[in-house]
Amino acid sequence: MPRFPAQPQKGFCDYFPEVLRVFRHVERQIHRTAALFGYEEYDGPTLEPLEIYAAKSGEELVREQAYVVRDKGGRELALRPEMTPTLARMVAQVQKSVPRPIRWYSIPTCFRFERPQRGRVREFGQANVDILGTASSDAELEIFSFIRHFMENLGANRDQYRIRYSSRRYLDALLAQVVGVPADRTVEVRKMIDRRDKLAPAEFEKWVRETFPEGPVADRVLRLHEFADPAAPPLPDVPAAFRESEGYRELVEFHDRVRQTGLDGVAVFDPTIVRGLDYYTGIVYEVHDVGTENRRALFGGGRYDNLLELFSNEPMTGTGFGMGILTVKLFLETYGLLPADLSSPPRAGAVYVACLSAAQRSYAFAVVERLRGRGVPCELDLDFAKLGRQLQRAEAKGYARVAIVGEDEARQGQVTLKTLAGGAQETVGLDDLPARLSRPER
């Protein structure tokens, strides 16, 4: 027999129970926050036609990152690299009947052929929270507030993360009227700015200077962060046309709304936020760790005005984010925010049942059946080892109490209940056992 590697493929991960406990902890906070804000859960297929990503998501996602399979009918399908086109497709089916705004969320598994690195793997869980059917920037403010509640529920404080936002329209005006990027190179520069987090600063600078060897464009691209406060007095060389542009006005207005709603401690304007996906049209945002340990975004999202037109004659705008469960796990680890009880399985109120010989196995089965019937979690040792060995196993698994079943106990319809810390023990009749276990151990 060939022996296969015990490790998964590069970029894919095996999730052992202790990791999954953390993922579920993060997901529970998404469900909890969604309930708090009135969002309903949806789900869609893992495989979708490749074209729906090719149409609006962008070349990088389709050409470089999509896992493509051909089905028996010869159709090209992608393992979903993201959820937003599926969401748009689903909303297109019900947009006439569902009251607006539509508030939906989902926690799909997505697939991308990315270079594996900290926080980036090839199969990942991504929470998606979106609000559709309203053009009001109050939708963005609600999404920011959702993020703040979610992060607070996880124990994070405002000094540990920032929601950084900008606007596609603002950036386009800035690039055209201030930086001096020719119209036919705007998309290229946007992509360049978006990649800055993926490169070391010196590498990024070298790339910018090589792309724009002549004129002041490279210097200005590298100084974009100087536009970090749109409401501050503009730099002396900023043309009036820029301040009168729709992009500038939209951003300043939004900036004010962020302040008015008290979100300004958490959300900050950052002109270098661009987002890699092509379908964004307005306000875009990312959540970043303020420290240096987790350089890549924890969340990314934005406003998409034209995505539904792929599936429907009736346009509908939306805004929302995707958040990597893994990236949030790394963030929580960085700041020591994981609850201690996640490090072992929850065993409160549970009992380990030790059975001393095969002759009592039927009685031991009756004991666990009775306990489970009364809602008491329990685990039965199955190999009749010496009692000391079974007690060790119970302790290693995190149990505080063991119900011991031997010959006498089986004959009298009892168990010997032992508390591992301290070793106190008592005899308890089977009928009384569930009630006894609901009281704290002695």
Q: Structure tokens of 340?
A: 């201690």
Least distance (Å) from ligand HAM to the CB of residue 266?
Answer: 17
- Given the complex with ligand HAM, which of 87 and 217 has the nearer CB atom? 87
- Given the complex with ligand HAM, which of 298 and 405 has the nearer CB atom? 298
Instruction: Give the pairing of strands 283-289 and 267-269.
Output: unpaired
Residue 82 interacts with ligand HAM (CB under 6 A): yes or no = yes
- For CA atoms 80, 82, 85, 87, the dihedral sign is positive
Q: Count residues contacting ligand HAM (CB under 6 A)?
A: 25
- Given the complex with ligand HAM, which of 49 and 345 has the nearer CB atom? 49
Rounded distance between C-alpha atoms, residue 249 and residue 48, angstroms: 38
Least distance (Å) from ligand HAM to the CB of residue 64?
Answer: 12
- Among 39, 104, 105, 124, which residue interacts with ligand HAM (rule: CB under 6 A)? 124
Whether 337 and 318 have beta carbons less than 8 Å apart is answered as no
Least distance (Å) from ligand HAM to the CB of residue 5?
Answer: 22
Rounded distance between C-alpha atoms, residue 375 and residue 373, angstroms: 6
Residue 441 interacts with ligand HAM (CB under 6 A): yes or no = no
Residue 131 interacts with ligand HAM (CB under 6 A): yes or no = no
Residue 150 interacts with ligand HAM (CB under 6 A): yes or no = no
- Among 31, 120, 361, 370, which residue interacts with ligand HAM (rule: CB under 6 A)? 120
Whether 319 and 304 have beta carbons less than 8 Å apart is answered as yes
Residue 106 interacts with ligand HAM (CB under 6 A): yes or no = no
Least distance (Å) from ligand HAM to the CB of residue 153?
Answer: 18
Kind and range of the H or E run holding 130: strand 123-132
CA atoms within 13 A on the CB side of 148: 19
Residue 114 interacts with ligand HAM (CB under 6 A): yes or no = yes
Residue 103 interacts with ligand HAM (CB under 6 A): yes or no = no
Residue 112 interacts with ligand HAM (CB under 6 A): yes or no = yes
Contacting ligand HAM within 268-287 (CB under 6 A): 277
Whether 47 and 77 have beta carbons less than 8 Å apart is answered as yes
Helices (H) and strands (E) in the chain, counts: 16, 17
- Among 101, 247, 271, 322, which residue interacts with ligand HAM (rule: CB under 6 A)? 322
- Given the complex with ligand HAM, which of 285 and 352 has the nearer CB atom? 285
- Among 33, 95, 106, 128, which residue interacts with ligand HAM (rule: CB under 6 A)? 128
- Given the complex with ligand HAM, which of 120 and 243 has the nearer CB atom? 120
Residue 121 interacts with ligand HAM (CB under 6 A): yes or no = yes
Residue 331 interacts with ligand HAM (CB under 6 A): yes or no = no
- Given the complex with ligand HAM, which of 107 and 400 has the nearer CB atom? 107
3 state SS of 381: coil
What does 77-126 look like in DSSP terms, one character per residue?
EEE-S-SHHHHHHHHHHHTTTSPSSEEEEE--EEE-----BTTB-SEEEE
Q: Which stretch binds ligand HAM (CB under 6 A): 113-121, 134-142, 216-224, 410-418?
A: 113-121
Residue 335 interacts with ligand HAM (CB under 6 A): yes or no = no
DSSP one-letter code for 214 = S
Residue 130 interacts with ligand HAM (CB under 6 A): yes or no = yes
What does 254-313 look like in DSSP terms, one character per residue?
HHHHHHHTT-TTTEEE-TT---S-TT--SEEEEEEESSSS--S-SEEEEEESSSGGGT-S
User: Which residues are 329's β-sheet partners?
Assistant: none
DSSP one-letter code for 10 = T
Residue 299 interacts with ligand HAM (CB under 6 A): yes or no = yes
Whether 265 and 280 have beta carbons less than 8 Å apart is answered as no
Residue 137 interacts with ligand HAM (CB under 6 A): yes or no = no
Q: Identity (one letter) of the amino acid at 265?
A: G
- For CA atoms 125, 147, 31, 304, the dihedral sign is negative
Residue 53 interacts with ligand HAM (CB under 6 A): yes or no = no
- Given the complex with ligand HAM, which of 297 and 394 has the nearer CB atom? 297
Whether 42 and 106 have beta carbons less than 8 Å apart is answered as yes
Binding site for ligand HAM (CB under 6 A): 82-84, 112, 114, 120-121, 124, 126, 128, 130, 277, 297-302, 320-324, 326-327
